[in-house]
Amino acid sequence: MALPAHVKYLVIGAGIHGLSTAYHLARALEAEGRGSGADIAVVDKADIAAGASGIACGVVRNNYYQPAMRELMAACVEVWESDPEAYHYHPVGYMQISPESMHGDVAEIAAQQREIGYESEFIEGEAACTRYMQQMFGDWRAPGTTSILHEKRGGYAHNRASMLGIAAKAKGAGVSIHTGVEVTGFGFGANSRAVTTVETNRGAIGVDQVIVGVGPWVPRIWEMLDLPDRIDLKDLEGSLHRDIPMWRFWCLQEGTLAVEPSYGMTDDGAMPPVIHVDSNEPLYSDIDGRLITDRMWGIYYKPDFNFGGVQGGAAPYRVETPSAEVAIDPYGPESPEFVVDQEFREMWCSALAFCQGRYEGQIGRWLDEPSGGIGAFSADNFPVFDRFRENCYVIADSNHGYKMIAVGKLVADELLGRESALLEPFRFSRFAEGRLHPTSNSPFPWS
């Protein structure tokens, strides 16, 4: 398909944010008589779901300590629920299982979920938590749990299949999707502010509006737009931190235990919720019994027929000094992505055995295949949704991405002049103004 010489709306990235924006914008344009999907083109340097969205674990949850994230995620869950067949969405629920050090944080999340009408159940006390889990899994044995937040909504979706479903919806609405088109630069108007052209490996495209939804590649586009790679940040206590990196990189750790997915079902044969366990208990190797860590750790897991086993992950680790190649292309040949980390394999499988007896001695069934990846996180680890260069809307998800399907719908509204209260807390100006999001005691940087 030939590239258009000019398009009103050019979306960069054919993952969750780019495709969701294109689809919802096409629907809104037609509904309001302001255009159609023919006014929208999506470009991707590889293919639909070729990046982070296509390998994501697929978990959909509302378990956030930050009120703004919680409200945004409630809107996202509604979109997933609106067409579960097309989105390949499984509304099995989600469980946050926590130690005493997180009890207060999780209690606050539970209370605020009730306030916004998001259905969940909160269990407190170690004995009550053990009983609750053993009603589901007779082999549950994780000690030290004093609270469980069981979200009755949420669940998971099949990564690549859901992206193909959104792409089909976008194409059905008239959007053109062009793959193998790599953005190489931007042309700016006489005032050096507004974007007038997007340069690609297949020629220039004139634009009225640009939407950037490229996931972990955002630092590269950010640089092309000549946006600041270092910023001043005022924290919640009012202290000013000068000249800190706008972007930081974390290596995400995920994998699959190649048992039959039914192996992870509840005792009555039902699909369980997605399980997330954080623990302060010492973790010992399921191979030789040695201590793996005596610091706080966390994992998540679920039986998943898409992955062909029990799939999940653990807290990421910081990549302190990524090479220039990683910063430019986090999924390129210089990236740690697709490297099977044997330490992670032992940690995650041992943690599964810590939680449930059925996983003891199962590490030999680890699926030795590429997984994980590099995530580009913002200076405070939370998303940035904002306009730059007058007509360029940047969706920088800070690795919260796949689950946030409603962001595209809300961005579409903002492109048509309707400012979103749900996106307002994620403006770039928050760094300088000290309007940051509170952080919890979770070992995960995105919580």
pLDDT at 90: 97
Answer whether 268's CB lies under 8 Å from 133's CB: no
Name residue 297's beta-bridge partners. Answer: 279
pLDDT at 371: 64
pLDDT at 332: 52
| Per-position DSSP letters for 217-285, written without gaps between them | GHHHHHHHTT--SEEEEE-TTS-EEEEEESEEEEEEEEEEE-S-GGGGS-TTSPPPPEEEEEE-S-EE-
Contacts of 306 (CB under 8 A, 6+ apart): 58, 88, 158, 159, 161
- CATH number of this structure's domain 1-91+155-243+381-447: 3.50.50.60
pLDDT at 109: 94
Give the residue ranges of the chain where pLDDT is below 50: 323-328, 333-339
pLDDT at 445: 67
Q: Which two tokens stand for residue 209?
A: 């509006």
Contacts of 104 (CB under 8 A, 6+ apart): none
pLDDT at 330: 53
User: Could you tell me the residue ranges of all domains in the chain?
Assistant: 1-91+155-243+381-447
pLDDT at 252: 84
pLDDT at 80: 97
Q: How many CB atoms lie within 10 A of CB 122?
A: 16
